[in-house]
């Protein structure tokens, strides 16, 4: 079965880019992948074409893909994770082409994938997490609304383990304070999930929502998003980065949103959360993805070591 061509192909598009556009439409419409994922596909193919000069489907091969990865690694310092992801993406694209008889076979069968080092995720310990929250709560960010927002953002990262994109996409209707639940819609892999709100986070969000209501009434602009910019629109990535920099300075702790996600996972395990439940809260498809946090918690491993039944 042959796929559809793009509705409005660019006149100067190469054969490769034309069919890649159709591939992206297939992934978006038929497979329900997110626009963020599709944007990643488009960035990758642009990089492939730029580095290799490939314009025809028949030029896709193990040699061209490995050459692309080699140049990206040496010239752009791609990590093994980035390189592995881009090879897997090209395998997916080539498989799609072969399934539609656009290529006689999948030319990337047998290509090697870079080995990814098993690194223990960096995270904050309990004392650091509590210090960060206190510092952010007591720091003045320029207004009552901005201060409440910063505290709510950092608390949501630490107490809910959300990704940065998930936090920015949260809407007010996704937060159910009476039931203490947050609905994450269209997370990584376009998966929805439910995250529970502990009492500590519920109080912070309730305070922020009151300040948010005052700000919305002042600017006269209604937005569905939970976290807003000062003009009433969705919190921008630039504003979030600035907020994080100020929070680092206020606390003396260097962190990034994903480090706080690692912190959430590790501290949840230390608090007694089982691995299966944590994988659901994190939105992981594979349990072994969550299991890496077991290694991150020295305290938890020490507790488990005490369970050894042999006594001297």
How far apart, in whole angstroms, are the C-alpha atoms of residue 184 and residue 162? 8
The one catalytic residue in 188, 193, 230, 248 is: 188
Quick check: is 293 catalytic? yes
How far apart, in whole angstroms, are the C-alpha atoms of residue 306 and residue 244? 39
Quick check: is 188 catalytic? yes
Q: Give the DSSP H/E element, type plus range, for residue 17.
A: helix 15-25
How far apart, in whole angstroms, are the C-alpha atoms of residue 8 and residue 292? 45
**Cα distances (Å, whole numbers) of residue 175 to 97, 187, 287:** 42, 15, 26
The one catalytic residue in 42, 46, 258, 280 is: 258
The one catalytic residue in 26, 95, 163, 248 is: 163
CB atoms within 10 A of CB 18: 15
Nearest to 148 by CA among 202, 199, 208, 203: 208
> What 3-state DSSP class applies to 280?
helix
Phi/psi zone of residue 121: left (φ > 0), alpha (ψ -120 to 50 degrees), beta?
A: beta
CB atoms within 10 A of CB 102: 17
The one catalytic residue in 123, 261, 262, 264 is: 261
Quick check: is 284 catalytic? yes
Spatial neighbors of 248 by CB under 8 A, at least 6 apart, are 254, 255
DSSP symbols for 84-103: HHHHHHHHHHHHHHHHTTSS
Quick check: is 36 catalytic? no
Quick check: is 207 catalytic? no
| Catalytic center residues | 163, 188, 258, 261, 284, 293
């Amino acid at each position: 079965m042959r796929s559809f061509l793009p509705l409005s192909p660019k006149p100067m598009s190469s054969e490769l880019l034309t069919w890649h556009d159709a591939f992206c439409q297939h992934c978006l419409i038929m497979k329900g992948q997110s626009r963020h994922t599709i944007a990643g596909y488009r960035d990758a193919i642009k990089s492939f074409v730029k580095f290799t000069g490939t314009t025809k489907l028949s030029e896709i091969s193990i040699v061209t893909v490995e050459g692309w990865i080699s140049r990206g690694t040496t010239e752009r310092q791609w990590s093994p994770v980035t390189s592995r992801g881009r090879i897997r993406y090209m395998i997916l694209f080539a498989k799609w082409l072969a399934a539609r008889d656009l290529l006689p076979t999948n030319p990337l069968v047998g290509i090697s994938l870079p080995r990814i080092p098993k690194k223990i995720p960096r995270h904050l310990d309990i004392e650091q997490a509590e210090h960060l929250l206190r510092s952010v709560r007591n720091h003045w960010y320029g207004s009552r609304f901005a201060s409440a927002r910063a505290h709510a953002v950092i608390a949501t990262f630490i107490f809910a383990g959300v990704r940065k994109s998930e936090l920015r996409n949260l809407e007010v209707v996704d937060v159910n304070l009476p039931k203490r639940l947050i609905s994450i819609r269209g997370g990584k892999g376009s998966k929805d999930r439910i995250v529970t709100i502990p009492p500590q986070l519920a109080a912070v969000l309730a305070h922020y929502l009151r300040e948010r209501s005052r700000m919305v009434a002042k600017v006269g602009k209604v937005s569905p998003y939970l976290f807003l910019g000062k003009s009433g629109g969705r919190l921008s990535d630039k504003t979030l980065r600035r907020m994080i920099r100020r929070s680092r300075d206020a606390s003396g702790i260097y962190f990034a949103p994903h480090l706080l996600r690692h912190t959430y996972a590790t501290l949840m395990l230390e608090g007694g959360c089982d691995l299966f439940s944590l994988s659901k809260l994190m939105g992981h498809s594979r349990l072994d993805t969550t299991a890496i946090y077991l290694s991150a918690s020295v305290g938890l491993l020490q507790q488990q070591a005490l369970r050894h039944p042999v006594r001297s």
